Structure 1
């Protein structure tokens, strides 16, 4: 076979001529159909979404319980826009304030946010409908008691800036190396004001700063080999975003302001280990150094300690669907995006009660037993792997139900005939919930599910009000009928077991159950149809006394 070499410039001219000829005719889009068919799949993200969480996410939950224990009454609150006049941190700070307030009120109902904003420039459907209904006197907005105001006070960029550049030059080789680091300071100031007088409350202020940084390093190489040249460069950079920094400042400020206003020891929720910046970074190191088998074993142990799985299921290595279902329930109860997969966010959330920090922020103790005899240094990931087969003493059980009397004077245990009783039920895990009311004569009715709320599924750590006194039309009331002992029994299960209960207990809500005498009968029937450990129940009772009759000439 004989090849004839052509001059290089002639070859290039031929290629150019062919290109011009091809460009002179329209392209046939049908020939690209197979290529374009990949567009639907390629346009989707390759990484699963994750819940936006900060170092103070657990502190907000802590504040929720603290406000509940302090019996802080429900307060209406709103917020002004939180602007950034530097335009260097363009984030939705007001929406972060709303999210923080709502997360602090899931259990305590301490704050109800009033959406009082009227934006004349950006009108949406809700605002337009609100204006129409307000003008026709068909809607009445409740006036908030408090409001939050403030702004991103400053963004000082590059307050620290270190740079280093070095290089060499030769006839055949040139090299260069560079490294830089800088720091930026962001400040946020929030204040709490009295909405009625539009005055800021003295002492109800918060001014915090956070430092974010970025840095990078690069290497450049260039040289020549004979008549040919080559070059190579590589870089490694990082940048801490302003969005996460603002969220951290907002949540810290909201905790401070609401804690000061409610006069509760809010600092107890700020000294938690999860607020230390090294906490999540250390867990990330362990996650990267370990293997998926170790991660799943540790998460399984955590799920067992929290009651999402049984010890027997731990031994069933092939029961993947049961593990994914338990993991999905755990992720849902902890406010994560449900994936059923052990990613880092799930690993970090499951091990938050597995480790603790020393005074310097280093993770030292491990294990779910709060009375661990000797602290163990966990800086070596091999010790994490070795611990996965151990058994720990702490067991929180499958779930817990917290029943509370929510009258104006909370914690009451005695009422008079004709008084109204307000109760709340909170389940530690997402469950199917049924609640029953027994009067002084032993008659029993079902409160929930009912026609107004026919879904038995409830979320974790969400207070269920019986009745819903926040609603203008609650649908029913609990009113003491006769002297004696009355009470409420709530039962939580993983599945809806209504059809497995006796026919007498499947009557409609608010209808007396024939043949059922007292709450003990209700609990007995659940025990008969469900194996031990498959349901959780909680009972709360109160005494009812005869109504006092006012003496003549005296007010009752």
Structure 2
């Protein structure tokens, strides 16, 4: 039987195609397609800060520990074990972050990063071990350590499943729904490093429920000899990592509060610790729309002092608005973008949310574009007692304090040659300058100096004067001759020192012949920064005669 010519032509075409596939392809022909890969692999959503329901509570604890005037304590942590293998998270690093957030202003804790487990040691740890063995390095012994583990993970404690369906000659329809809950428990203890014993009563055991659920619809049928099928589903799952961070933050607040003997429970009753806080804020964020979001955020920035009162007409693309957003984001630890996103919206409006009488979250003083800040309840008061107050810009201020222990209510006094320690904290990101005036009237600049050359500091970050935690603090501040001494810190919105006259730019830690008093120094800065771009704060103390027990003295400020 003779085959038709068309069949042979089709066979030849298939053979040619197969031969072409066997030939190596020219990669250069795909260059235009592949060059988009470097862009396609970029994320499409901006990064956000990792927060929990107790992030604001950690900041509250920082303030509480500072008020308690606790000395800095060295602390370390063991690795947290998860025998279930169901919670793959870096729990120890979460502990370090929680301790760090409780020490921004108070300097309450300093974490000793030393890994004992050889399998977990990195390059820095190996180098540390070499230096320790050669007596070229010493490690300070921590006073406390954190011990803990994932106690248990009970999966599917409750599980509910519902399935139903109908079937016909040409149509099949099905519906399914499922819900389940898993319980994760974390137990944490605080131990005494010197005796390697767990301190009785300093423990925390908490659980969190991780839920998931889903529902779906299946539709199938036949049209003639062809079959069609559709499936639509919706699912959700609460993240294990985020739930564990909540447990860690809560545990560290409990442990630190019990150890420091401070009323830590006042920080756990904040509105922001409400389980539905972020979800409710997200709903309001979506309901406001882009225009409403920006309008509310702009009013909040004005009320908090990041924008002047006459900034009500600035648009989102205005340089001043983008700069204000960036400074606010940097002060709150949010990834800086200069744009209106949900983390910025939540941080700016969090103080305008309170608990209603029924326990739900309610907008307080939130009337269109006019935001009235909620008055914070006093320590120990019910946070629901907070009520809106008339809108006014938040005060831009410096908190300059003497860190040496002093009797309550008494004026600071030091003996000649005694070391003095101070700290300075600014409510907003600013450029910081600090000057010292001795009892003879000589003035010298402490900050910035050769080892601390940068003037820009973040909001609510304690700047130590001198930096007693640094290996080389740059100088030592000793009480000089008997009399009255003082330190003044000045904060400006823009860098001011380079704009001043040459005689004002003397080297740090050297006498400044151009000014005679701290008041005159303040006037010189005001001429450059303007009345709205400068805040100052001063502290002074008296110096008495040297005690007989003291054998050595020191200059008011000397290089180390």
Q: TM-score, normalised by structure 1?
A: 0.90
1:387-398 alignment runs, 5 A limit: 392-397=390-395
> How far, CA to CA, are the matches of 1:126 and 1:486 in structure 2?
43
Matched, 1:368 2:372: yes
Instruction: Say whether 1:425 aligns with 2:429.
Output: no
Contact conserved, 2:294 with 2:316, CA < 8 A, in 1? no
Matched, 1:466 2:465: yes
> CA offset at residue 268 of structure 1?
0.8
Give the secondary structure class of the aligned counterpart of 2:296: helix
User: Which string of whole-angstrom CA distances, capped at 9 and with x for unpartnered residues, describes residues 112-143 of structure 1?
Assistant: 11112123224421111011101100011111
Distance in 2 (alpha carbons) for counterparts of 1:527 and 1:150: 53
Deviation of 1:42 after TM superposition, in Å, equals 0.7
Name the structure 2 match of 1:43: 41
Structure 1, unaligned runs of 5 or more: 1-5, 373-389, 551-556
Instruction: Give the deviation of 1:416 after TM superposition.
Output: 2.6
Identify which of 296, 299, 308 aligns with 2:297.
299
Q: Measure how far apart 1:503 and its partner are.
A: 2.9
Q: Which runs of 5+ in 2 are unaligned?
A: 366-370, 377-387, 550-560
* Deviation digits for residues 466-522 of structure 1 (CA, Å, limit 9, x no counterpart): 111223432322222233321111111122111222333211111111131221111
Change (3 A) 1:496 1:170: same
Q: Give yes or no for contact 1:279–1:363 (8 Å, CA) kept in 2.
A: no
Once the two structures are superposed, residues 270-295 of structure 1 have per-residue CA deviations (whole angstroms, 9 ceiling, x without a partner) of 11000001111111111111211111
Shift of 1:19: 4.8
Does the CA-based 8 Å contact 2:314-2:321 persist in structure 1?
A: no
* Deviations 1:329-380, CA, capped at 9 Å, x for gaps: 10011011111111111111110011211241332423434469xxxxxxxx
Moved more, 524-533 or 53-62: 524-533
Root mean square deviation of aligned Cα: 2.3
1:488 and 2:487 correspond: yes
SS in 1 for 2:231: strand
1:80 matched to 2:78? The reply is: yes
Change (3 A) 1:12 1:303: farther
Q: CA deviation at 1:391?
A: 11
Cross-structure match for 1:406: 403
Runs of 4+ with deviation above 6 angstroms: 9-15
Deviation sequence 1:447-469 (CA, Å, 0-9, x none): 00111211111122111111112
Alignment: residue pair count: 526
After superposition, give the CA deviation of every residue in 1:385-444 in whole Å (9 maximum; x if it has no partner). xxxxx99523213x2210110114477512233222111111122211000111123221
Displacement of 1:528: 2.1
- The 2-side partners of 1:514 and 1:236 are apart by 74
Inter-CA distance 484–11: structure 2 relative to 1 (3 Å threshold): farther
8 Å Cα contact 2:99-2:109 kept in structure 1: yes
Q: What secondary structure is seen at the aligned counterpart in 2 of 1:352?
A: helix
Partner of 1:251: 249
Q: Which moved more, 1:278-287 or 1:536-545?
A: 536-545
Q: How far off is 1:541 after superposition?
A: 1.3
Which segment drifts farther, 237-246 or 456-465? 456-465
Partners of 1:91 and 1:316 in 2: how far apart?
43
Q: TM-score, normalised by structure 2?
A: 0.90
Could you say what secondary structure the match of 2:136 adopts? Answer: coil
Matches within 5 A, 1:492-511: 492-511=491-510
Distance 1:266 1:410 in 2: 24
Distance change >3 Å, CA 414–CA 468, structure 1 → 2: same
**Which residue of structure 2 aligns with residue 382 of structure 1?**
none
SS for the counterpart of 2:476 is coil
User: 2:13, 2:348 → 1: CA distance?
Assistant: 62
| Cα distance between partner residues in 2 of 1:228 and 1:424 | 78
Match of 2:265 among 253, 264, 267: 267
**Distance in 2, Cα, partners of 1:108 & 1:10:** 88
For 1:144 and 1:371, the matched residues in 2 are separated by 40
- Tell me the distance in 1 between the aligned counterparts of 2:399 and 2:87: 42
With over 3 angstroms needed to count, the CA separation of the structure-2 counterparts of 1:103 and 1:15, relative to structure 1, is farther
CA contact (8 A) 1:357 1:365 kept: no
Please, which of 275, 279, 283 is the counterpart of residue 285 of structure 1?
283
**How far apart, in 2, do the equivalents of 1:336 and 1:419 lie?**
41
1:67-124 alpha-carbon deviations (Å, 9 max, x no partner): 0100111111111100100000111101100111111111111111111212322442
One of 126, 129, 132 as aligned partner of 2:130: 132
Whether the 8 Å contact between 1:187 and 1:210 is mirrored in structure 2 is: yes
